Amino acid sequence: MKIEILGMGCANCNKLYENALEAVKLSGKEVEVAKVEDIKKIMGYGVLSTPALVIDGVVKVAGKIPKVEEIKGWIK
């Protein structure tokens, strides 16, 4: 499984990245978490609001910062 955090590096994006790392840690699963800061790549997902969180190519949320527990629920 791969989680990508889309955002151009502002505080909201960093917060979502931290939440994703924490969710992965709590899940105990082996998950790759990567930041995507290139706007062309971000727009390639059809995302028009950041931060956004993508799991295995599917955008789960955009323009919001989901809580750690919510992200953990998406990790299978």
Partner 1 sequence: MEERCLCEPNEILIFSCAGSSNVGQIANQAAVRLAQEGIGRYFCLAGIGGHVSGMIESTKAGKVLIAIDGCPVGCAKKTLEHTGFNIDEYIQVTEFGIEKNHDLNILAPDVGKVRDHVTSLVSKRRGI
- DSSP secondary structure letters along 26-51: HHT---EEEEE--HHHHHHTT--SSS
Return the number of the residue (28 or 57) whose C-beta is nearest partner 1.
57
Is 5 in contact with 51 (CB distance < 8 Å)? yes
Establish whether 29 is a catalytic residue.
Answer: no
Cβ proximity of 53 and 63 under 8 Å? no
Mask: binding to partner 1, 8-47, rule CB under 8 A, as x and -?
x-x-xx-------------------------x--x--xxx
Q: Where along the sequence are the contacts to partner 1 (CB under 8 A)? A: 7-8, 10, 12-13, 39, 42, 45-52, 58-64
